[in-house]
Amino acid sequence: MSKKKVIYFWITSLLVSLLAWPPAIFNLLILVAYVPILIVSIKTKSLRQLVITLYSFYYILVLIKTTGLLGEGHFTYGLVLALFVLPILWMMPILALNYLSKKGYLLIGILLFPFLYLINEYWQYFWDLSFIAYHLSFSLGENWLFNSIYPLTGVLGMSFIIISFNSVLAYLYVFTTDNGLIKKKFLHLGFLIVVLIGLPFSLIPIEKKGGNKEAMEMEVAIFSPRTEDRDFLNEDFDKQIEFLIQSIDKDEVNNLDLIIGPEAYLSDLNDNPLFTNTIDQNEAILKLKEICKRRNTSLLIGAILVELIKSDDFPSSSAKLKQDDIYYEIYNGALLISGDKAVQWRTKQILLPFVEKIPFHPYINYLSERISFIPRMNNTYGVKNDVSPFKVNDVRIVTSICYEGLYPLQLAEKVNAQTADLQIILSNDWTIDPPTVSQYETYCHAVGKGTGISSILVNMNEKTVYLHKDGWTNRFENYPLSVKRIQLN
């Protein structure tokens, strides 16, 4: 294939992918977005040229779709590394397809390619450099046409369908043109027609279902402080508690099923760490218990937690030495506080590389105990392996924290461990950029449809949204408390 044709197909695939990938609204185009780049992969003989083509394609796609985060100054090591590493990971299955094509096994390559792509999506969950999971199926999270299919296929199954459809179209193009069955100009015209047809079908909105008299419902209030509040309350536990109680009292909320606050709202590691060992005796927590009792409600809120552990040696790879035989873990967690019950807590299970953990730190710390010049990595959060749901008035609630909401396999594990009715995703103000917020909501819609569970995505700055498993949304837009009744099933 000539360089001119490679550039033509590269631009076509990139433009259609940008139109299809969230937060773009023409999501149905994902069914054909990869066709041109797959044709290039099949027809290109030079490995060097193909690597440059694929890497630049994926790099520019990721760069443009993360512009909102970069524009807000989120230049974390993990995000920057993801920009360079993800294109390498994503091109691997396509390089395998190219190899089989050059060896004369194109049909076998086409049949194997969707499985290789699916394996590539799957295994990235389970290594220490796991980034935001960009499943192909996330792009169809808000498309009404696939509402009934998602529960059957799940997120991975829908990705398989999407990439298989792209692969078959690419194969048909190569087969028909190589054998002179159809002229290329007619195939290009057909591709354009398919794209134009896909545009209006991507824009049909999802309508909320009504009239379900047996629907399970909850009345909830979202506590949504603003960024300027967070900056004022930063690392001052007493101020955080005071502002929260004042917000509840000001709105005079009573008899709600649940009040929900954002990720890591309670945090004061320097002067007043929240120890899980004595959490029910903590004076600030007792104040929250008292207001929950007085208002006849419960509170679910994000907190940075510390657990003290007595041990003869490091109890885990993430544990830190406090003194003598006392160690401690730091968790990014969630608390459930009620007026007359013991406080319950869960921790984040999947930690962000370079933000909440040092990749491969268990191996580094193992070596540090045996080789003196290797330092121990102590700036990693811990994980408590308890994914059981909270229970509030017979509603079973699983919690995810921040990017955990984008890991459908982990959420499925939580739901399958014990049936759940609602997922609450605790986030904060990691972004206030509308396109990025829209993108994240689309991903969560796909996860909800695939796992069959509705979610509340809890953000600061009045950005909280309820995402029903059927695809419709309900927004919490009042400050600092916003009260709504939500339908779970």
What CATH number corresponds to the domain at position 222? Answer: 3.60.110.10
As a whole number of angstroms, the distance between CA 97 and CA 1 comes to 16
Q: Are strands 473-476 and 464-467 parallel, antiparallel or unpaired?
A: antiparallel
Q: Are 1 and 178 in contact, with CB atoms under 8 Å apart? A: no
Contact 141, 154 (CB under 8 A): no
> Which tens digits make up the pLDDT trace of 240-262?
999 999 998 887 788 899 999 99
Residues 323 and 429 both lie in one domain: yes
Mean pLDDT of all residues belonging to the chain: 84
Residue 213 has pLDDT above 50, yes or no: no
Count up the domains in the chain and report the number. Answer: 2
* pLDDT above 80 for 233: yes
Q: Which of 157-161, 184-188, 226-230, 452-456 has the lowest mean pLDDT?
A: 184-188
| Amino acid 55: pLDDT | 93
Rounded to an integer, what distance in angstroms lies between the CA atom of residue 423 and that of residue 415? 9
Structural tokens at position 327: 């160690």
User: Is 310 in the same domain as 191?
Assistant: no
The pLDDT, as a whole number, for residue 202 is: 58
What pLDDT does residue 79 have?
A: 67
| Number of neighbouring beta carbons within 10 Å of residue 158 | 24
In a domain? residue 208: no
Establish if 210 belongs to a structural domain. Answer: no
| Whether 171 and 232 share a structural domain | no
Same domain, 84 and 161: yes
- Domain edge (last residue) among 170, 203, 236: 203
Are residues 167 and 257 located together in one domain of the fold?
no
Q: Label residue 131 by pLDDT band (50, 70, 90).
A: low
The two structure tokens encoding residue 335: 């608390």
For the whole model, what pTM was predicted? 0.84
In this structure, is residue 209 part of a structural domain? no
In this prediction, residue 450 carries a pLDDT of: 80
Please give the pLDDT value at position 271.
84
Q: With 90 as the cut, is the pLDDT of residue 53 above it?
A: yes
The answer to whether residue 346 scores a pLDDT higher than 60 is yes
**Confidence at residue 487, expressed as pLDDT on a 0 to 100 scale:** 80
More confident residue, 383 or 123: 383
Q: Are residues 250 and 108 in the same domain?
A: no
- Same domain, yes or no, for 186 and 247? no
Rounded alpha-carbon distances, angstroms, from residue 175 to 31, 116, 160, 190: 19, 22, 22, 16
Instruction: Out of 203, 234, 249, pick the residue that ends a domain.
Output: 203
Residue 277's pLDDT band, with cuts at 50, 70 and 90, is: very high
Claim to verify: residue 105 and residue 58 sit in the same structural domain? yes
For residue 360, what are the domain limits?
217-487
Residues 236 and 133 in one domain: no
Residue at a domain's end among 175, 203, 231? 203
130 & 250 share domain: no
pLDDT at 211 over 50: no
Q: Are residues 81 and 177 in the same domain?
A: yes
Q: Does some domain include residue 436?
A: yes
Domain-embedded: residue 111: yes
**One domain for residues 474 and 404:** yes
